[in-house]
Amino acid sequence: MFAARLFRRLVLCTAVVCLVPPSLLAALGVSSLFPANAATGVCIDTPLRVTFDAVPTVGTSGRIIVINSGGTVVDTIDLSSATQTRTIGGTVYNYRPVIVAGNTAIITLRTAVLAYGQTYRVTVEGEALRDTSGSAFAGISAGAWSFSTKSAGPAAGTSSLTVAADGTGDFASVQGAFDFVPVNNSKPVLINLRNGTYHEILLLRNRPFVTLRGEDRRQTVITYANNANFNAGNNRAMVGIDSNDFTLERLTLRNSTPIGGSQAEALRTNSTRCFASNCDFSSYQDTLLINGAVYFSNCYIEGDVDFIWGSGVAYFYRCETRALRRGYNVQSRSTAGRYGFIFVECAVTAADGVTNHVLARTDTTSFPNCEVVFLDCVLGPHLTAAGWLVTGTGGTAGLRFLEYRSKNLVGALIDTSQRAVGSRQMTDAEAEFYRVPANVLGGWAPPVSTDTSSPAGLVTASPAGSSTRLVSLAVRSFAGAGEQTLIAGFGLSGTGTKDVLIRGIGPTLAEFGVPGVLADPSLKLQQGAVVLAENDNWGNAPALLAASQSVGAFALAATAKDAALLAGVGATSYSAQINSADTGVALIEVYDAATANRNLGLASLSARTVLAADDVLIAGFVLSGTGNRLVLIRGVGPTLTEFGVGGVLTNPRIEVFGASGKIYENDDWTAEIRSVVARVGAFTLPAGSKDAALLVSLAPGSYSVHVRGPAGVGGVVLVELYDVP
C-alpha cells in the first residue's frame, strides 16, 4: 500500500515541481566528524568539520552549540542571525561561521572559546545544515559528539611552531599561531604551515619577526571570500600584515571573491622589510595592496583590475603577473621622492583571450609623481602598443613610468616606439641602479631566494653578448652490468667537429670519501647503436693525461682502473656508457677539450637511473665565459610512463647547488617554460605532472644538480640539462 502511494506521488513529479513530501526524501547522512567523537589532544583553535555523504548547504536557521564539561555554553552560532562577527588579531570582523567545501561543512568557532585541558560537547540542530533541495538533516544531538583539548599549549617563547589542518601541530589555524606570538615580539618566530586548505581571514598586528612557511607552494593554501562588501576598509583583505620584518614562503593566498565582488585583496600590508618568496597570490580586483616596503621573489600574482596597487614600495624579482581579464596590472600611488613598484626580470602574461591590457595606469590629477618600473621583463602580446595608460590634468613632468629592454615571449626586444606619452625608456645607468633592491628599499638588502618552483618570471633567452658556454658535464650514480649500465646522453650544437674528453671514474672516487665505488669501470662512446670508441683502464696515456690537465680535471693515478677516452665529435647526440661485472657508484664526465673552437659546443646532458629509496642522482656542469647563461634543468619521473617505463619516481625534486650552497630548488614544474622546452628540443611534459623543472640564469662557475624523491620513495628518474641560447 505504501509503495503504491509513493508511486502515485512520483508520477505527479514534473521538471519543475515534485509532489513527494520532504519527509520521504533521503536526508543528509554524516560520514565523519572532526575532531572525531571522543577525540583527545585537540588544538584549542581547531575548526570543527562535519562531512556528509552529499553536498550540504548552510541553513538560515538552527544553532550550533558548544558546551564544556561543567555545562556552560561557551559558544552559540545562531544561523538565523544575518551578521556574525569574530575577533581576529584584535579586530572585529564579519565572518562566515559555516563554510561548505565539497561535502564538508567547516564550522569556525569564535576566538578563544576553547581552553586547554577541557572536554566539550557539540550540538548541531538539523536546520543549521540542509541538503541541496533544502531539507534539513537529522542533526547531531547532545552527547553524540564530544572531544577533549590538549592539556597545554606550546611553552611561552617557543620560536618554532607547526600549524596543521589535521590537528597534529601546535595549532590547527594560522591565526591561532599568529595570536601565540607576543605583541612587540623581538626575536624570530617560524610558523611551519603543513599542507592543507585553511579557510581564514588573517591579521598579524604589532608582532614583528614572524616567518610563515608553507610545506608546499601549491598544496598549502589559505583562502577566503573577504571583500569590501563584506568587511569595509582595511578589513576587506583576506590577509592583513601590520608587522615589520614579516616573511611569507611557499604557499598560496587565494581570495575566492567572485568577479565583480568589489575590492578583495589576497594580501595587504603597511609594514616594512617584508619578504615574500615562492608564493602564489590570486584574486580579481586589487590582489596585492602594498603600503609598506615588500620584496617579492619568484612569486605568481593574478588578477584583473589594478591587481597590484598602493602607495608603498615593492620590488618584484623574477615574478609572474597574470591578467585574468582585460584591465590594468598596476596602480602606484607613490609620491614625489618616493620609490614605487619595480619589476625586474619578470614575466607579464595573460589568460587566453585577454587583449588591450596595459602595464600600469595613473590619473595625473591625483597621482602625478607615481613610479612603476619594468626592467628586463618578458611581456605578453595582450598588452597594447601604448603599454601604459596616462589620464588626468596633472601633467607628466613628475611621472616615472619607466621601461628597459622589454622582450616578447621568444626573447626578442619589443618595439616601444608607440609607448604612451609620459613613459620613457631608461638609460643603462638607471637600469643598473634599479637592479639593486637596497637602492629602493631604504638600504634593506632582502635575503636570497632558494626556490624557483614557479620559474615563469625568468627571462627565456641568455643575455645578448654573453660568451658563457657549457664546458663540462658530469653525472654520478649507481652502475653495473646489463640494465644497471650507467648511461649519460649528451649533445653538441653548432658546426664542424672538435675533441671531447670523456672519463668513467670509479675507484678514484674513494679518494673523495665516496663509499661503495665501482672497482673497474668500462667506458663506451656511442652514436645510436654504433660504438665509436671504448676504454677499460686509462693507462696514463699521454694524450689523455694532457687533455685532463688542459681542462682542469682532477688527476688519476697512473695505475688507476678508471677509464677515459678522447674522441672527435660533431653537432649531434651521443651517449657515454659505464658498465662493469661488479656494481658500485660511478661518475661519467664529458669535457669540451677544444674550448677555443666556439663554432661547436656542449648543449645538453641527460642520464636515467633507478634510485633506491632516499638515494640521489647527481649531475654537474661548468659554465665558462663572461656574462650569465640560461640553463633548463629537469627531473622527470611520472612522464616516463608515456614512454613505456615502469616503476618511475612519482614526484622528483631537483636542487641546484653553487659555490655558496643550495641556490635553487623545484618540486613541480609550471607550464610557462614550454616555449623554452620546445626551443631546445626537449619532449613536452603534460600539464600538472609531478615532474620538476627549473629555468635559471647562472653566472660562470661550477654547479651540481641533485634529483631525489620524497622520503622513503625510489624509482626510475631522468635528469636533463639544456643550454638555452
Per residue in 400-410, pLDDT (tens digit) is 999 999 988 76
* Percentage of the chain modeled with pLDDT above 70: 93
pLDDT of residue 675: 72
Closest CA to 447 of 292, 295, 664, 313: 295
Report pLDDT digits (tens) over 669-717.
Answer: 876 677 788 788 889 888 778 999 988 888 889 999 999 998 888 999 9
Q: Confidence class of residue 612 from pLDDT cuts 50, 70 and 90? A: confident
Element (DSSP H or E) covering residue 327: strand 320-332
DSSP-assigned beta bridge partners for residue 549: none
Average confidence (pLDDT) over 169-178: 98
Element (DSSP H or E) covering residue 674: helix 674-680
pLDDT of residue 461: 60
Element (DSSP H or E) covering residue 213: strand 210-214
**Phi and psi dihedrals of 9, rounded to 5?**
-70, -40
Q: Confidence class of residue 213 from pLDDT cuts 50, 70 and 90? A: very high
Q: Say if domain 27-149 classifies as CATH 2.60.40.1220.
A: yes
Q: Confidence class of residue 662 from pLDDT cuts 50, 70 and 90? A: confident
* Mean model confidence pLDDT for the chain: 89
Q: How far is CA 85 from the centre of its chain?
A: 33
The CA-based dihedral angle spanning residues 71, 72, 75, 80, taken in that order and rounded to the nearest 10 degrees: 80
Q: Say if domain 466-606 classifies as CATH 2.60.120.380.
A: yes
Q: What proportions of the chain, in percent to the nearest 5, are helix, strand and coil?
A: 10, 45, 45
pLDDT of residue 696: 84
Report pLDDT digits (tens) over 384-433.
Answer: 999 999 999 999 999 999 999 998 876 788 999 999 999 999 999 999 99
State pTM to two decimals: 0.66
pLDDT above 80 for 615: yes
Report pLDDT digits (tens) over 533-555.
Answer: 999 999 999 999 999 999 999 99
pLDDT above 60 for 5: no
Residue written as grid cell 653548432 = 494
Cα separation, 645 vs 262, in Å, equals: 50
Cα separation, 532 vs 433, in Å, equals: 53
Q: Say if domain 612-725 classifies as CATH 2.40.37.10.
A: no
Residue written as grid cell 625510489 = 714
pLDDT above 50 for 105: yes
Which residues belong to CATH 2.60.120.380 in the chain? 466-606, 612-725
The CA-based dihedral angle spanning residues 185, 269, 454, 674, taken in that order and rounded to the nearest 10 degrees: 180
Report yes or no: 228 and 262 within 8 Å, Cβ to Cβ. Answer: yes
pLDDT above 60 for 456: no
Which residues belong to CATH 2.160.20.10 in the chain? 159-286, 315-443
Which residues belong to CATH 2.60.40.1220 in the chain? 27-149
What is the CATH code of the structural domain delimited by 159-286? 2.160.20.10
Q: What's the DSSP call for residue 383?
A: B
20-29, 131-140, 198-207, 569-578: range with lowest mean pLDDT = 20-29
Q: Is 267 helix (H, G, I), strand (E, B) or coil?
A: strand
pLDDT of residue 13: 33
Element (DSSP H or E) covering residue 174: helix 174-180
Report yes or no: 66 and 119 within 8 Å, Cβ to Cβ. Answer: no
What is the CATH code of the structural domain delimited by 315-443? 2.160.20.10
